[in-house]
Amino acid sequence: GQQVMQIPQYQHVQEGEDFTTYCNSSTTLSNIQWYKQRPGGHPVFLIQLVKSGEVKKQKRLTFQFGEAKKNSSLHITATQTTDVGTYFCAGPGGNYQLIWGAGTKLIIKP
C-alpha cells in the first residue's frame, strides 16, 4: 500500500545548529502537509505544498516539495529551544484520508 517514509527518526542538535527532516512517498502526491507536535501537545498544521518544486518559508523554516512530487523536506535554520518537538509530514492517501510519516523528533542538546 501507499507509504510515506520520514527520516531521521531523531535528530539531536546544539541550539543554533540547523535541522532537516525528509519525507519520501511511494506514490506521487497531489500535496504534502507538515505538522509540528510539541512535547505533550497535539499536532499543529504548519503548511501545505501543492506545486512541483515549490519552496515556502516561514521565518527560519523552509519547506520544499520535490519536482516529481514524491518527496519533501523541512529545514530549520539556527534552531531555538522553541523548535523542540516532533515534525510530521502527511500526504493524501486513498479513501479521503492522510498518510502520515512516522515523524522526526528534534532534540536540543543541553
**Is residue 101 within the footprint of other proteins (CB under 8 A)?**
yes
String marking each residue 69-88 x if it binds other proteins according to CB under 8 A: -------------------x
74-83 CB burial, b ≥16 within 10 A, e <16: bebeebeeeb
Alpha-carbon span 105 to 22, nearest angstrom: 12
Listed ranges 26-34, 57-65, 68-76, 77-85: which one lies at the site for other proteins (CB under 8 A): 26-34
Q: Looking at 15-23, 58-66, 73-81, 99-107, which segment touches other proteins (CB under 8 A)?
A: 99-107
Residue 96 engages other proteins in binding (rule: CB under 8 A): yes
Structural contact between residues 46 and 34, judged by C-beta atoms closer than 8 angstroms: yes
Beta strands 10-14; 104-109: pairing state: parallel
Contact 51, 72 (CB under 8 A): no
Q: Does 92 bind other proteins (CB under 8 A)?
A: yes
User: Where do contacts with other proteins occur on this chain (CB under 8 A)?
Assistant: 30-31, 33, 35, 41-45, 48, 88, 92-93, 95-98, 100-103, 105
